[in-house]
Chain A
Amino acid sequence: MAAKTPLLKAENVGIQFGGLKALSGVTMELYQGELVGLIGPNGAGKTTLFNLLTGVYVPTDGRIMLDGETLNGLPPYKITRKGISRTFQNIRLFGELSVLDNVKVAYHAHARHSMLSSILRLPSHFRGEKEMEEKAIEFLKIFQLDGVMHEKAKNLPYGQQRRLEIARALAAQPKVLLLDEPAAGMNPQETKELMKLIAFIRERFALTILLIEHDMSLVMGICERIYVLDHGQLIAEGTPEQVRSNPKVIEAYLGEEVS
């Protein structure tokens, strides 16, 4: 591991909101193909870290690097185009758009036909839109959502909305996928299917995945390494076994069974 350079690297990253230090000194490295978990009690700063990595917030300290390129200060859409894509804790689909169109929006950054060609309906517009549609349907098939592709996204049942959000994030063709509590609100059966799905897309798209999760069985079951955040600081990292037996982690969870 040490010889390889990390794909995504956060170096001493921190952010302050006014006088409040939400995160400080977070250093994290993700290597190509890894599936890494990020856990911590409520309010530990997990989602804040996601927001820093995706450019929603600009870090006040430290550096974030993707493939050796500094991302600090880039707007979110540019960071997405460089290869970091995400899902949200509280699902954020484009409700009034169809399932198919939701995925097409994410593929937009890879469209080559210009606004003018669309307005004038030039051949490049039709070519571009056709390619887009084919790609989008391909993604929907993987997630078994092709049967509902003309439904409005807001009309899907909860589990399918979660899946659609992951499909949409993948359609942006990221190198690193950030999943913010993908199993939130799912029953054990759905969680199990989700685990399989995550493992599958990781193989299929050669992805590196960072996952926030409260469901310990999911995190312990599929993650190779785990980072633990508490009060805005990293308190532990390592394999699931190492993390599970780490006294600091046990303390952070106040004696909660970590198994």
Chain B
Amino acid sequence: MLPTIDLGFVEISLYGPIFMIGAVIAIILIRRLAPSTGVDKWDAVYAVIYGLIGLLIGAKLLYLITRLPAIVVRFDAFVELIKKDFTAAINFSLGGMVFYGGLIGFALGVIRYCRHFRIPVWGPVDLYTPFLPLVHGFGRIGCFFAGCCYGIEYDGPLSVRFPYNKFVSKLDEVPRFPVQLLEAGLNFICFAVLITLMRKELKRDGSERKLKQGQLCGIYLTYYLVIRTALEFLRGDEIRGKIGFLSTSQIISILLIIPAVILLRAKNREKVFYVPETTSELTKTQV
């Protein structure tokens, strides 16, 4: 719709600023909620920053992995491309991001921070979980403006005719299903449900809480696996890669079923937002 804004000396892609707005809103809300969950407000912010660094690396790395088969099959041509046009080679191999790579990278970043500074990991995990779909929803709105992650050809109610987009060559050829907005809406619904669950649990005393550590994350992961698998059939961009009849994201969704089940089961875990009272209990809850 509006892929870039021209500031005169540079053209900025709208995706980044829209994503940043979502991230900033999430960080502000996380910092406000952190004390009531037993997480230090500064630890909450610093762990998010580690997580965002991991998100950037993970999203780019997984995008590179999806491009590897094409690079390997035509390796000589890729080497020639690097020599003739380094920009195009970088664009081809690192020009996009994959959500699942970002999610895994974010989790690893947060875990790294918690292990380094000896903080129980479940507190930040349960605190951040409701805000993941919030930020992702903003990201999908950014995708709608940027014209990436577009939908299948569709000429019914609510179809969208994108204008000519110099970054995405096939976007304007046909009317399309606004899958980005649908996914953003589903993410915002998920955020509303998770934040309501979280606030309900926080109002209860520790021993009366119904959820256990990690179950909020398990609920989110299960929900997202299902909707992403379904929404992939409404995606029209071939660039995301396919293996057989399944897209890369659908395969990753299937692989993430086991971690989702493990998180939902919550075997041998404390109640959600459990705050250890003694040092020995603190040691037990560390990863």
A and B interact: no
